[in-house]
Chains A and B, each alone.
Chain A
C-alpha cells in the first residue's frame, strides 16, 4: 500500500529531474572553467567563474548587448503591433455584423493552419523589391506583417475571449447611444485586458525565440538579434567557444524564464483556453 502510494510522487520527482537537468546543467556549466564546460555532467562547477560571461559579451566585433537590444526592439514592436491589429480584427469578427463575415472568418481560420515557411520566399522577394531588406533599419519585414494582423492565432484567441464577454453590455451601450466605435472603446477594449495580456506575453516569447524569419531578413552583424548571433558561436566552433556560447545562451533565455516565473499560471492556462475551446 505504501509503495503504491509513493509510486506517483517518486515518478514525478524523477521525471522533474530528467526534464530540468538540461536547463540546470546549462546554467551551472555557464560558470565552469573552459576545461570542464562540456564533459562535467555535474550541475555544479568545480570552480565558479564569470569568465564565460565577459568572454561571450565581447566575443564579436559588436557587443552582445547590442544583439539583446535588437531582439528586445523586434519583440517589443511585435507585441504592440499584434495587440493593436489583432484586437481590431477580433472585434469585427466577434461582435459586428457585416457582409461576408463568415467567409472572411473561414479564411482567417485557414491562415491559422498555413505554414509560415510556405510564404517566406515570396515575402522575402517582395520586401526585397520594396528595398526593406538590409539597409539601416532591416526590421520592417519582421514588424509590418504583425501590424496587419497576420498572426491569426492571436485574432482567434481574442475572438474566443470576446465571445465570453456578455453581449448585454454592448446592447446597453448601444441603447445609450454608442456607435460600434464607442462600444469598442468603452466596452470591449477595457474588458479585453486579459486577452491582451496573454497576447502580449505570447507574442513576446515567440518573437524572442523566433529564429527562421530573423535569420532570413537580418544580414548585417550590427542588426543581428540574439538567436541569430548565437549561431555565430557555432560557426567559429572550436572547443574554446562552448563556455561563452553557454553563457550567452543562458542570458538569452533569462527574459522568457522571468516571464515564466511571473506569469506561470497565466501562461499555462492561456495556452489552454486558446487551444481548446475551438
Chain B
C-alpha cells in the first residue's frame, strides 16, 4: 500500500506544487469513497442478513414467539427458554450428547484417515492425481441428501452391508434402526468423506523440505520415526487448520441425521443432532423463541470449543517460520 502512495511524488514537481497539494488527498478521498461503494453490498448484507437477525434472535430467545400468531401475542418470558432447555427438555441433553459424540468421534477418525491416505499419496507415481481425485469425490457429493439415502439403505436390515457380513457367517442388524448403532453409521458416512482434509494435508506435505527426511535417513531413522519426528510436527499447522474446520463442521451435521431418522432424530433420539433438534423445535413445533435460545447456546458452545482448540494448539502447533 505504501508504495502506491509514495510513487507519484517524484513526478509531482512537473505538474506543479498546487497539483501535489490537491492531487494526493483528492485521490485518497476518491479511493476511500470507492472503497465504500464497492463494499456497500457486503455492508448491507452484514447489517440486514447478519447483525440485525443476530440481535433479533437474542431478543426472541427471551420471548415465546411462535411465528404463527401475530407479534402482539408475543410475550417476554425472561430466561424461561434457557431454563426449560437446561432443566426440562431431556431431548436437549440427548442432542448435546449426540452432537458431541458425533463431532468428537468422527473428526479424529476422519482426520486420521485423511492424513494416512495423504502420506500414501505423497509420492509422485503414475495415477497419483487420479487417486487423489477419486478420494476427493465423496467430499463433493457426500453432504447431499442423495448420498445419505444410499448410505442409510446400505445399512438397512436387508441392505448391502448385511449381505456382505453374511459371507462371513455374521448375522447383521438393522443398524439404522438400532439406537446403539444408528449414530455409528452416520459417523462412518462422515469419515468416508475424508477427501477434503486429505487434499489440504497433501498440499501441506508438499511444503515439508525433503532435506529433513534425507538428514533423518542419514541418521538412520526408519519410516515411523520420520513420520513422528518430521511429518507430524511440520504438518501441525495444517492439522490444526483441518481440526478447527472439521470440528465446526461436525457440530453442524444435519442432513444425514435428518435422512436417517426421517426428521425425527430417532431411534430414541440417538441421531438427534443439535441442529436437528433446533429444526424440530422451530419448524415442527413453531417454538421460535425456544429455537432462538438454542441457537445462541449453540453459538456460545461452538465459540467455546473453537477457543479451546486454539488454546491447546499453542502446545502442539509448530510454525517453521518461528512465529509462534
Contact = CB atoms under 8 A, between A and B. Distances in A.
A131 to B, nearest CB: 13
Nearest to B143: A209
B258 A149 contact: no
Given A16-B131, A121-B282, A271-B199, A40 B41 contact: no
A276 B140 contact: no
Nearest to A252: B146
A197 interface: no
A178 to B, nearest CB: 11
Interface stretch (B13-21, B82-90, B295-303, B312-320): B295-303
B38 interface: yes
A145 interface: yes
Given A125-B56, A150-B45, A115 B150 contact: no
Interface string B33-46: 11111110111111
Contact of A253 (B44, B135, B141): B141
Interface residues of B, number: 100
Nearest to B53: A122
Contacts of A228: 145
A22 B163 contact: no
A155 B46 CA distance: 13
B200 A117 contact: no
A39 B255 CA distance: 24
B167 to A, nearest CB: 9
A234 B52 CA distance: 36
Interface string B46-62: 10111011101100100
A57 interface: no
Contacts of B279: 212, 215-216
Contact of B141 (A23, A121, A123): A23
B160 A39 contact: yes
Interface string B166-206: 00000000000000000000000000100010011001100
A171 B7 contact: yes
B268 to A, nearest CB: 19
A193 interface: no
Top 7 A-B pairs, shortest CB-CB distance = A148-B45, A98-B35, A249-B146, A122-B53, A180-B34, A41-B160, A89-B42
Given A92-B42, A98-B34, A249-B150, 11 more contacts: A19-B134, A26-B150, A38-B160, A91-B38, A122-B53, A181-B34, A246-B153, A253-B146, A257-B141, A275-B245, A276-B241
26 contacts: A25-B154, A38-B160, A41-B160, A89-B38, A91-B38, A92-B39, A96-B34, A115-B251, A117-B298, A118-B54, A119-B57, A121-B288, A122-B57, A123-B49, A123-B53, A125-B60, A145-B49, A147-B41, A174-B27, A184-B38, A209-B141, A231-B259, A242-B153, A268-B133, A268-B136, A276-B200
